[in-house]
């Protein structure tokens, strides 16, 4: 042993003998920290010591929350060099270097600081480990400058140019391996500074530029009342940080091993970490998902659209929902005559190659872009920062609320076409409105007289004169607009339960105290009068505990509304895809929901007076009552079969991509087996807590079906089970459910079981199950297996591909 090493061992031995129990929140050069000792911050919030994650035999020096169950780790020192053996020592040398040593006195990690007098190491209540020294004391090193996977209040994400620091998060490799993983979260200062998530060197998420209130791509962070965010940019550094507005609330952000950044909140009244928000949250959060000059929206279908004045570069791929090639300009620019088209409420395009000019008005920014023939778009970021783009516009998304305004350069002929279309629409509206208003006036007079007589004679009962023929006469309550407006507080935004492709759904309370859900079809709804009639007629005739109950409808002027029983727990997708709510669904409750949906679907297929094919079965169309009982809803696209009919054909494919069977999506063929496929997709989503369109293997780009299939073949399907499910689940039941799910999503419709067989398989362990074949649509790049609801595809567009 060398003299230096011997000196260290002797010094440490003396220090360990001198140190007894907890050394408090500080460490000096005379009191090293050994295996069984920890530092605890003054307020008892954080603790520093040695830990071994999961079932690992390796040890690390880290910081964790002291009093919170499971003691989440927030920082790890020796991520690349774990400790082995029973002797682990943290030593602060007399000249101010912090060393992590093993039993042989080998240095496994160090702060690489020196030449300091009176060094002191202290763990603060912010979770920052601070090394100071000198007179007066100055900071020699701090853990906040070297984050692991966790972003704490007061920590900075960004760059310090003078100190040559790049503060960014790096994910753990796995939950039991804190070594650096594949994903990082940090700031790119080029162009306009933004924060990105990277997988290796590839971008997977982008925040958008800072606009004075928050990141352009995260309008939900601007005014939240819980956290306050700060962005600082000067000649010395560029960073952003956050603080909690309530000191009794603990906050942290973590990038996990799958590349998702979760911002978590723990209050004194909580028993778990609640997810405040997370990214990427939906398909539009994925970086450049619609390619160059494309824009993404979750409000419409398909979710990817070309910017005004642009057209798909590869139309065939675009029709198949493969949008990576993006869009190209339809008409070439002419610098002297070009103009700008405003696009509102957007996440501004990637600014890494953009240029900026400060202290500009909107008009000055416009002039700046107009004078530069290479300028393709401009935006005023904040109050006076002009951003101009000189290359393709990448990673744009549209918001319902929030976002910024982007002005896109277009040829004058394109702008003329837009103005002409707008003018034609106005003239058409005027031409149509005058005779329509006249007709409506006469109709209203007649209708008022009819309603007055009808209410006097029959009360509020509606016959088929409103929605159907005499052959389908119904006794269904008719609600007037006045009562619906009163029930929903005049369709207040606060009453909106959700918004689908057919319009918003409001919560309401009738005069008799009943709570209802009001589905109001928007005037430009995808669902037309035929679908409206279908939904009314079908649901009124169908009665089953696992089908939603229709209480009535309202038809006045152009308004069409359906009034349903109110489901207190909203829809299934709000639970299984929400990391906060998913823990409320234990194994037995998930199994009950699966079986309940299966029985409701069996009733539609076999036991009702009508044989019904739903055609849009998905998690968002499964409602949950106060006891979490599932009820199938949304029958606007359903079809009925005659006696002896087993399948139908259509050129108008409607439904949700990712849930549609191959024969239906590609050929328009629908049957009971197409509903079975949708049920199988949903079953696997309930088990895994993952959406089918989530890419689970970046190298192979397979979706949930493909991932479940791979794990099944390897006998590892339990690895896909949602983490929040208790470990006390019956393994045989879980395996059976996975097998039933895979049987339902087999590529060949003839291989799939009927719903009668599915109910039997799920309810009895004595039934022998066949081995499943390969599922349909499990490679995301070549399928329509993406969540693009509501969708409508014309089969002639798909022929020959």
Q: What is the pLDDT of residues 1-44, one digit of tens each?
A: 443 343 344 344 433 333 334 469 999 988 899 888 999 999 99
Fold of the 1-146 domain: Agglutinin, subunit A (2.90.10)
**CATH of region 147-281:** 2.90.10
Q: Which entry of 616, 634, 675, 787 is annotated as an active-site residue?
A: 616
- Within 10 Å of residue 456's Cβ, how many Cβ atoms? 8
**Among 539, 770, 501, which residue's Cα sits nearest to residue 655?**
501
| The pLDDT of residue 514 is above 80 | yes
- CA pair distance 297, 471, nearest whole angstrom: 42
Domain boundaries in the chain? 1-146, 147-281, 285-410, 419-453, 460-565, 573-797
pLDDT in tens, 427-471: 445 544 555 565 556 666 665 665 555 544 433 333 333 444 433
Beta pairing partners, 34:
none
CATH classification number, 460-565, choose in 3.40.50.620, 1.10.1370.30, 2.60.40.10, 3.30.200.20: 3.30.200.20
CATH class, domain 285-410, is alpha beta
Beta pairing partners, 613:
639
The pair phi, psi for residue 671, each rounded to 5°, is: -160, -175
Burial 49-76 (b: 16+ CB within 10 A, else e): bbbebeeeeebbbbbbbbeeeeeebbbb
Question: CB-hemisphere CA count at 13 Å for 299?
Answer: 12
| Average pLDDT for 188-203 | 94
Report whether 550 contacts 532 (CB < 8 A): no
Task: Please state, for a pLDDT cut of 90, what percent of the chain lies above it.
Answer: 43
The answer to whether the 147-281 and 460-565 domains have the same CATH topology is no
- CA pair distance 507, 492, nearest whole angstrom: 9
Pairing of strands 791-794, 339-347: unpaired
Fold of the 573-797 domain: Transferase(Phosphotransferase); domain 1 (1.10.510)
pLDDT of residue 283: 81
pLDDT in tens, 387-425: 999 999 999 998 877 789 999 999 999 998 877 655 554
Question: In terms of pLDDT, which residue wins out, 362 or 541?
Answer: 362
Active site residue 616: yes
Mean pLDDT of the chain: 82
- CA pair distance 222, 64, nearest whole angstrom: 29
pTM, to two decimals:
0.57
Of the listed ranges 457-471, 666-680, 744-758, 773-787, the one predicted with least confidence: 457-471
């Amino acid at each position: 042993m060398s003299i230096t090493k011997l000196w260290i061992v002797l010094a440490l031995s003396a220090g360990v003998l001198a140190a007894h129990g907890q050394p408090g929140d500080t460490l000096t050069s005379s009191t090293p920290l050994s295996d069984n000792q920890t530092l605890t911050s003054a307020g008892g919030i954080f603790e520093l010591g040695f830990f071994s994650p999961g079932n690992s035999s390796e040890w690390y020096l880290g910081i964790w929350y002291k009093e919170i169950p499971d003691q989440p780790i927030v920082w790890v020192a020796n991520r690349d060099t774990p400790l082995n053996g029973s002797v682990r020592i943290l030593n602060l040398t007399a000249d101010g270097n912090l060393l992590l040593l093993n039993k042989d006195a080998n240095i496994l990690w160090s702060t690489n600081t020196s030449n300091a007098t009176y060094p002191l190491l202290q763990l603060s209540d912010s979770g920052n480990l601070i090394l100071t020294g000198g007179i007066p004391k100055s900071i020699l090193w701090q853990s906040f400058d070297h984050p692991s996977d966790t972003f704490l209040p007061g920590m900075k994400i960004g760059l310090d140019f003078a100190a040559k620091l790049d503060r960014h998060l790096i994910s753990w490799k796995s939950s039991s391996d804190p070594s650096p993983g594949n994903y990082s979260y940090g700031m790119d200062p080029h162009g306009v500074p933004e924060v990105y998530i990277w997988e290796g060197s590839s971008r997977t998420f982008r925040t958008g530029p800072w606009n004075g209130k928050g990141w352009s791509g995260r309008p939900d962070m601007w005014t939240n009342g819980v956290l306050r965010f700060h962005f600082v940019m000067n000649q010395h550094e560029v960073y952003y940080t956050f603080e909690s507005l309530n000191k009794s609330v603990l906050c942290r952000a973590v990038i996990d091993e799958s590349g998702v950044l979760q911002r978590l909140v723990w209050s004194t009244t909580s028993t778990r970490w609640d997810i405040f928000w997370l990214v990427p949250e939906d398909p539009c959060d994925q970086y450049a998902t619609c390619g160059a000059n494309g824009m993404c929206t979750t409000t419409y279908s398909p979710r990817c659209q070309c910017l005004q004045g642009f057209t798909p570069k590869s139309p065939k791929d675009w029709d198949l929902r493969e949008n990576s090639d993006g869009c190209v300009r339809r008409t070439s620019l002419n610098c002297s005559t070009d103009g700008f088209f405003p696009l509102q409420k957007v996440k501004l395009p990637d600014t890494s190659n953009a240029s900026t000019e400060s202290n500009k008005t909107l008009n000055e920014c416009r002039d700046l872009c107009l004078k530069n023939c290479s300028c393709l778009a401009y935006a005023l970021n904040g109050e006076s920062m002009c951003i101009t783009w000189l290359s393709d516009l990448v990673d744009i998304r549209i918001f319902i609320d929030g976002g910024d305004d982007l002005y896109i350069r277009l040829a004058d002929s394109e702008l003329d076409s837009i103005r002409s279309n707008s003018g034609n629409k106005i003239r058409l509206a005027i031409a149509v409105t005058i005779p329509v208003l006249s007709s409506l006036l006469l109709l209203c007079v007649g209708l008022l007289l009819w309603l007055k007589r009808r209410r006097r004679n029959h009360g509020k009962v509606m016959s088929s004169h409103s929605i159907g023929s005499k052959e389908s006469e119904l006794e269904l309550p008719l609600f007037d607009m006045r009562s619906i407006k009163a029930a929903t507080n005049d369709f207040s935004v606060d009453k909106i339960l959700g918004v689908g492709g057919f319009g918003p759904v409001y919560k309401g309370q009738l005069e008799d105290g009943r709570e209802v859900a009001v589905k109001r079809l928007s005037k430009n709804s995808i669902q037309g009068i035929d679908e409206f009639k279908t939904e009314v007629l079908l649901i009124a005739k169908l009665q089953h505990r696992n089908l939603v109950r229709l209480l009535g409808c309202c038809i006045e002027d152009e308004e069409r509304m359906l009034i349903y029983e109110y489901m207190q727990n909203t829809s299934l997708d709000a639970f299984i895809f929400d990391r906060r709510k998913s823990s409320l669904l234990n194994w037995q409750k998930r199994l009950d929901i699966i079986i309940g949906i299966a029985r409701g679907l069996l009733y539609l297929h076999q036991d009702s007076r009508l044989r019904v094919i739903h055609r849009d079965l998905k998690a968002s169309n499964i409602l949950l009552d106060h006891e979490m009982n599932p009820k199938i809803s949304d029958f606007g696209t359903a079809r009925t079969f005659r006696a002896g009919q087993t399948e139908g054909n259509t050129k108008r494919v409607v439904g949700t991509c990712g849930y549609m069977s191959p024969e239906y999506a590609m050929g328009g063929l629908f049957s009971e087996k197409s509903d079975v496929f949708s049920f199988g997709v949903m079953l696997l989503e309930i088990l895994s807590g993952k959406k089918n369109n989530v890419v689970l293997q970046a190298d192979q780009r397979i979706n949930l079906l493909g991932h479940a299939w791979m794990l099944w073949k390897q006998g590892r399907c339990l690895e896909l089970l949602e983490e929040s499910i208790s470990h006390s689940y019956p393994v045989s039941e879980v395996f059976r459910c996975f097998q039933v799910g895979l049987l339902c999503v087999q590529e060949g419709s003839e291989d799939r079981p009927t719903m009668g067989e599915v109910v039997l398989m799920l309810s009895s362990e004595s039934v022998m199950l066949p081995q499943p074949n390969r599922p349909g649509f499990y490679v995301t790049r070549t399928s329509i297996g993406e969540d693009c609801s509501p969708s409508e595809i014309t089969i002639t567009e798909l022929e020959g591909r």
